[in-house]
Structure 1
Amino acid sequence: MTARTGDHPGTLHAWFAASAGRHPDRVALEADGQALTYRELDEYSARVAAGVLRACPGPPRRVGLLAGRRPATYAGYLAIQRLGATVVPLNTAWPGARNASVARRAGLDLVLTDGTGGAHQLSVPLLDLADVAGDSAGGPLPSGEVGAPAYILFTSGSTGAPKGVPILHDNVVPYLAHVIDRYEVGPGSRLSQTFDLTFDVSVFDMFTAWGGGATLVVPSRDEILAPVRFVNDRHLTHWCSVPSVISFARRMRALRHGAMPGLRHSLFAGEPLTLQQAQAWQAAAPASRLENFYGPTELTITCSEFALDTDMGGWPSTANGTVPIGHIYPHLEHRVLDAAGLPTEEGELCVRGPQRFPGYLDPVDNAGRFWDLDGDRPADPAPGPSGSAVRSTGTVPARMWYRTGDRVRPAGPDGFLHLGRLDHQVKVDGYRVELGEIESALRDQPDVHDAVVLALPTAHGGTELHAVCTGEDPAPGTLLAALREQLPAYMVPAFLHVRSELPLNGNGKTDRTALAALLHDAPAVTPVKELR
């Protein structure tokens, strides 16, 4: 299938509005014990949009959203979209300093909030969603800035600060056209919404459901911890989550054979899916088509897919025990390149096409992330001046290839096998984490001379962060407490070790491999669970 933008609604809100026009009385959203039809959710979002216009001195360009899992939050998301503004999700579980940093870097005009998550710490005008829930929708709404991003998400940055990833409507439209058709989403379908709005797969959850006229079913925090019960009690047809949910359900002994007979599609993204995890889930949902899909935020949610047969006897066997990431979407171009930008059998996956983002919010972050292969030799785009990005999206020419940083090799008819990262970026609970950002935060603490963070495997197949510090007798408890004030919980190391020195390799650089071996052989020090 080729996804053609011109054949489909041109914005995220237009996808929702088209379904609202066709299916006004079907349920669009179930959240926090409430069910809203497409008509009700459309009217709700119109009231919120009118409230945003009254609160802003001029047409809003970028609006933050800091709220929990309730109908008002989703009405707020749609309200920002219908105004033609850019939504910038914040996270109620993040430290206030993290949300404040994102708000500052994004140049927000306003933040929609439900009063949770430390909104008072933001130096941005606030609008409480409760204050506009019963307002009148008012008159016609503005169309917004042409070419404005649909949303901006902030990912962990290797330089010690989060970096903004703007995604255009033109990036999302071909994506939705592809996935709505592939996963047979339509009226009567019921899709899970397990991802926080700061996680890009949440856009898949929301707009695949709403673009197909289906129902988005939002779990409570307790329901997320009992996925099998949630699937059955809420009659889900489509499940989407990170693979670590499978490991958790297995530890709870919830994945009994045939435990989820009603599932039709089971989709996993955000981190490698192991064959063991896939087998356990498939046995519990035997009628479901299980699929691994892959993609960095910069390529608009996902860019490749691999569907496993319902008959496990036909599954591939891979050297690293993970499910292939499969084939790149047909409307995208891809190459596998070596460090010099030359074609190779095993190397870095590079992609371009309609889903490739226009460049980072701060153009400085573009350096080293693109190849220009149409000239005589590979080239990097000029980064542009730092700090010019508050009202810019750092546009990179469409001909340039985005360097994913992921090492792949062909897996025959199964597409590509993911072999790991080429840098110090890791996935923790599906979230992208730059180890350098944690190391930078540690080095900023008093008494710390140097810091290294390693991602080590756990006994249950997950990833655990271990920090190692040197310095003038740094106090591990104090350091970890400081990190919890600055970083999201998934970025705070599970263990912190203090050493007199770090092992070095022959070039005088920190030997991470030797350090990992030392930590493997020594008892872990200062687990976070003892400090909370």
Structure 2
Amino acid sequence: MTPTVCDLFERQVRERPDATAVRTSGRSWTYAEFGRTTARLAARLRRGGAGPGGIVGLVAPRGPQALTGIVAILRSGAACLPLDPDDPPLRNREILDGTRCRQVLVAAPAGWLPGAQLIDDPTLEDEEEAPPVAPDPLDLAYAITTSGSTGRPKVVGVPHEGLSNLVMASIEDLDLVRPDDVMLWTLAVTVDSTMHDVLMPLCCGGCVAVPDPGELPAAGMLRAVRALGATVLEIPAAVLGPYGGSLLPRLAEAGVRLVITGGSQLDGPGLADADPLVVRNGYGPTETSVAPLWYRCDKSTPRWVPIGRPIRGVRAYVLDEELNPVPDGAAGQLYIAGAGLARGYLGLPGRTAAAFLPDPFSDVPGRRMYATGDRVRRQPDGEYVFLGRADDQVKVSGFRVEIGEVEHALRGCPGVADAAVLLRRDAPGGAALVAFLAGTPLPDEEISDRLRDRLPRHMVPRFHVWLDRLPLNRPGKIDRAALAEMPFAETRADRRRTDDVT
């Protein structure tokens, strides 16, 4: 039986008690110290009723308190439900009630959470450590909220089996972490990749480096790497793609050996030009345990970076609309099956059944596969290439347009560091493709002329909007909702065009 992350952490506490488990700019904790701290908090949670099958909320920003909370909740046997303290209390309350969460850990008292347990409660010093609870691989390990099309947030429940499978593959197969690594924690607590980034080093004897609070832009990452001695960190693809060419060499000089990326399509040059630093691109929806496919960038990697191949215990299918396999090189929807699947959307059986389908290619009754909604193709070498979201297609003059193809062409224009394209129905003259660009502004006519050398006329955006940088949302993806609300004026992109968009 595959050990859970709890089993792996307990082993490190026993075998490496004096090794550094957690490091901040102000202090550090050994495995023995961090083990005692989390064991006491776990015991307090268990006295309050936490255990396998239950969910404990965590309302804390990125920091040592949040890390203590994550590990303590897992050691109590319960699943961790991270929530952002800056989100509206009404929304957080709705999520807690919807998941029947009866206990909540907080970094600071909150008026809307009377009775919540403080992570740094001084009375925990008197709490007796209890024997650790060993969760079953099918018990939930964590739950992550995602936006719901009905207005109600969806909560994805991920079992220990999927998390442990990813962590073990990361350690033994992918070389994402080593016992002598220092992993810089860069993402928000509520992003599912955080579970991977902070638990992976703690399961192999490595160290988690926690930067100072606040946002962590590219320059801040570099400062944190130098201050904390980090050797591994995650940078969202929306940041690494446009800025990796200048950032990666400086990270390599600072001692970073590996950059993990993901969250969106990685599109950028020079990702293998900072030897000996390596870039690993991970792909996966929250419903498939963070990232079930991985790709290692090398000198032959194209700018539109592949998403790789499945890790151990995971199967990937490329299927047509009738759920039939398509040949290598053909486009289809990606379906994921195997050890990484989430249990589903908690409290939403209908939505779960619609997304998690019976696996027709498994000999084991009851096995499921997840419909990602992503269009991909499988190359002859076994690597998968992301082509775009099925719902990213729009029609211009009756032609189907892949937004991702337009964005990729824009990023190839001189001076364009990053690009996002939206269909804006409020555009002057009617609905139109609008390109939001970051970099060194070029004349609109020059961009349009370059695009017409690569794209059909109907795929060339009618308007260009230059920004200092594209806005990112909390998971580190381009914030398309913010761009959809951003005002813009008519430009010279192509006033002669009056394409109808449907």
Query: After the TM superposition, which residues 264-343 of structure 1 pair with which residues of structure 2 at under 5 Å, given as runs?
Result: 264-276=257-269, 279=270, 281-283=271-273, 285-309=274-298, 312=299, 315-317=300-302, 321-343=303-325
1:175 equivalent in structure 2: 166
Query: After the TM superposition, which residues 244-259 of structure 1 pair with which residues of structure 2 at under 5 Å, given as runs?
Result: 244-246=238-240, 249=243
Residue 165 in 1 paired to residue 159 in 2?
no
1:88 equivalent in structure 2: 81
Unaligned runs of 5+ in 2: 394-402, 411-415, 428-472, 488-498
- What secondary structure, in the 3-state scheme, does the structure 1 residue paired with 2:92 have? helix
1:193 equivalent in structure 2: 185
Distance 1:177 1:105 in 2: 32
Give the residue type in structure 1 aligned to 2:57: G
Residue 150 in 1 paired to residue 150 in 2?
no
1:413 equivalent in structure 2: 381
Distance 2:165 2:223 in 1: 34
1:401 equivalent in structure 2: 369
Give the residue type in structure 2 aligned to 1:364: G
* Structure 1 residues 266 and 137, CA gap change in structure 2 (3 angstroms): same
Task: Return the offset for 1:373.
Answer: 4.8
- What secondary structure, in the 3-state scheme, does the structure 1 residue paired with 2:418 have? coil
Pick from 356, 378, 386: which aligns with 2:341?
Answer: 356
1:347 equivalent in structure 2: 332
Distance 1:228 1:208 in 2: 22
Once the two structures are overlaid, the 10-residue window that deviates more, 63-72 or 140-149, is 140-149
Contact 1:164 1:360 in 2 (8 A): yes
Contact 1:34 1:71 in 2 (8 A): no
Task: Return the offset for 1:95.
Answer: 2.5
2:223 equivalent in structure 1: 229
Task: Return the offset for 1:243.
Answer: 1.6
- What secondary structure, in the 3-state scheme, does the structure 2 residue paired with 1:205 have? helix
Pick from 454, 457, 461: which aligns with 2:418?
Answer: 461
Distance 1:220 1:515 in 2: 47
Query: After the TM superposition, which residues 114-153 of structure 1 pair with which residues of structure 2 at under 5 Å, given as runs?
Result: 114-115=107-108, 119-122=110-113, 125-132=115-122, 134-141=124-131, 143=133, 147-153=138-144
1:101 equivalent in structure 2: 94
Distance 2:51 2:280 in 1: 45
Distance 2:282 2:11 in 1: 27
Task: Return the offset for 1:110.
Answer: 1.1
- What secondary structure, in the 3-state scheme, does the structure 1 residue paired with 2:149 have? coil
Task: Return the offset for 1:233.
Answer: 2.9
Give the residue type in structure 1 aligned to 2:80: V
Q: Scaled by the length of structure 1, what TM-score is found?
A: 0.70
* Structure 1 residues 260 and 96, CA gap change in structure 2 (3 angstroms): farther
Contact 1:228 1:255 in 2 (8 A): no
User: Could you give the per-residue CA deviations for residues 470-529 of structure 1, whole angstroms, max 9, x where no partner exists?
Assistant: 9xxxxxxxxxxxxxxxx979585245379xxxxxxxxxxxxxx9569xxxxxxxxxxxxx
- What secondary structure, in the 3-state scheme, does the structure 1 residue paired with 2:120 have? helix
Residue 219 in 1 paired to residue 176 in 2?
no
2:391 equivalent in structure 1: 423
Give the residue type in structure 2 aligned to 1:97: L
Residue 369 in 1 paired to residue 369 in 2?
no
2:194 equivalent in structure 1: 202
Give the residue type in structure 1 aligned to 2:336: V
- What secondary structure, in the 3-state scheme, does the structure 2 residue paired with 1:355 have? coil
Give the residue type in structure 2 aligned to 1:421: R
Q: Scaled by the length of structure 2, what TM-score is found?
A: 0.74
Contact 2:379 2:385 in 1 (8 A): yes
Distance 1:58 1:168 in 2: 14
Distance 1:55 1:201 in 2: 28
* Structure 1 residues 295 and 53, CA gap change in structure 2 (3 angstroms): same
Contact 2:184 2:233 in 1 (8 A): yes
* Structure 1 residues 83 and 491, CA gap change in structure 2 (3 angstroms): farther
Unaligned runs of 5+ in 1: 1-5, 377-395, 426-453, 471-486, 499-512, 517-532
Task: Return the offset for 1:242.
Answer: 0.8
- What secondary structure, in the 3-state scheme, does the structure 2 residue paired with 1:302 have? coil
Task: Return the offset for 1:223.
Answer: 7.4
Distance 2:94 2:210 in 1: 28
2:104 equivalent in structure 1: 111
Residue 22 in 1 paired to residue 8 in 2?
no
Task: Return the offset for 1:461.
Answer: 2.1
Distance 2:252 2:187 in 1: 23
Distance 1:274 1:42 in 2: 40
Contact 1:49 1:137 in 2 (8 A): no
Distance 2:163 2:281 in 1: 20
Task: Return the offset for 1:186.
Answer: 2.9
Contact 1:228 1:259 in 2 (8 A): no
Distance 1:322 1:44 in 2: 45
- What secondary structure, in the 3-state scheme, does the structure 2 residue paired with 1:135 have? helix
2:236 equivalent in structure 1: 242
Task: Return the offset for 1:329.
Answer: 1.8
Contact 1:263 1:288 in 2 (8 A): yes
* Structure 1 residues 137 and 249, CA gap change in structure 2 (3 angstroms): farther
Task: Return the offset for 1:363.
Answer: 0.9
- What secondary structure, in the 3-state scheme, does the structure 2 residue paired with 1:121 have? coil
Give the residue type in structure 1 aligned to 2:482: P
Distance 1:468 1:333 in 2: 40
- What secondary structure, in the 3-state scheme, does the structure 1 residue paired with 2:240 have? helix
1:383 equivalent in structure 2: none
Give the residue type in structure 2 aligned to 1:151: Y
Task: Return the offset for 1:204.
Answer: 1.2
Contact 1:242 1:268 in 2 (8 A): yes
